[in-house]
Amino acid sequence: MDYRDSQRRIQTENKIKEYEQLGLFNDDVEEDPPYDTLDPKKIDLYNKKIFSKVKQFFSNRIARAYINREIKKKVLIFDSKCDVQGMQNLIGVNGGAIVTLNHVHPYDHFLAYLAFRRQFGYFKFRLFKVIKESNYTYPGWIGVFMRNCNTIPVSETNIQLNKHSFDAVQYWLKRGKKICIFAESSLWHHYKKPRPTKLGAFVLAAKNSVPVIPCFLTMSDSDLVGKDGLIVQKFKFHIMPVIYPDKSLSVKANSVYLQEQNAKAWQKCYEVEYEKPLEYEK
C-alpha cells in the first residue's frame, strides 16, 4: 500500500497519538505484512558473491535515481546542499561508525546517504542500514531494494539471524563503513519529537569501539499538498557532534553512556529547531 494513502495516514497519525500517550514509543504503529523467517545461511551480508555484487550495484543506482526523481517532483522535499547542518562534525571521522537517526519517513536513510556522501565521497561511499526482518523479506520491487541496498536485517525472535547480522556489522565496521541504525526501532511517520531509543545500537558501538554519529531529521511545512491531502514536509538533516566511547568504561556502562549522550543530543536539536521544550502527551 502507498504510504501516501490518505486513509492509511490518518489511521497511522491517530495511532501515533495513542501510543505517545501510552508511552509505547518503540512499538510499530503499522502492521507488518506476513513474512517468512530468514535463513541466515541463504543471505550474503558480506557481499562476497558475484551475483550479490551485481544486484547491489544496480539496486543502488535505481534506488538513487528514484529518490532523486521524488525530490525533483517535490514529493520528498530535501536539498543536500542547503538542508544539512553540522557537516563539520564529520571531519576526522574516517573509520567505522554507528549512525543513529530518528525514523520518520520510509526514505529517511536515503537522506542520510545524500548528506554523508558530501563528506565521504560521491562515488565510493556506501551507507549500510540495519532494518527489520519483515522489511528485508518485503515482496515486490520494494523488497528488491530492501535486500540489496546495503541492508542488514535483524529480528526480535530470529536469534540465528541476529548473530549472523551482528557479525556482519562487526565485519563492515572494521572496514570503515558507516552503519545507520534507527535506534527507536520503528517508523513513526512525520513524528517530530525524539523518542526513547533501544540499547542495541549503542551496544554495537561499544563492543566494536566505534563512535556514534547522532543525526536528527526535523520538518517544516512547505507550500505543497500531497496525495494524502496533508501538507508536504520540508526536511532538514542535522549532524550533531560525534560521541566517542569512554575507554575507561565496560561495554555495558559504555552502551548506556552512549545512549544517554545520544538522547541529550537529539533533545537539544529538537528544542533548538522547534524553539520549545520536549514534552510528551499523557
List average pLDDT for each run of 10 residues in the chain, which is 282 residues long.
65 92 94 85 94 94 94 94 96 96 95 94 90 89 89 94 97 97 95 97 98 98 86 96 97 98 98 97 85
Q: Which domain holds residue 258?
A: 6-274
Task: Choose among 202, 156, 208: nearest CA to 181.
Answer: 202
Task: Choose among 121, 126, 120, 137: nearest CA to 63.
Answer: 126
Strands 231-239, 212-225: pairing is antiparallel
Write down the pLDDT at residue 1.
43
| CATH code: domain of residue 237 | 3.40.1130
281 within some domain: no
1 within some domain: no
72 within some domain: yes
115 within some domain: yes
Domain tally for the chain?
1
- In angstroms, the CA 84 to CA 35 distance is 36
Write down the pLDDT at residue 229.
78
279 within some domain: no
pTM (predicted TM-score):
0.94
280 within some domain: no
- In angstroms, the CA 107 to CA 129 distance is 12
Cα-Cα-Cα-Cα torsion 257, 112, 151, 24, nearest 10 degrees, comes to 50
162 within some domain: yes
73 within some domain: yes
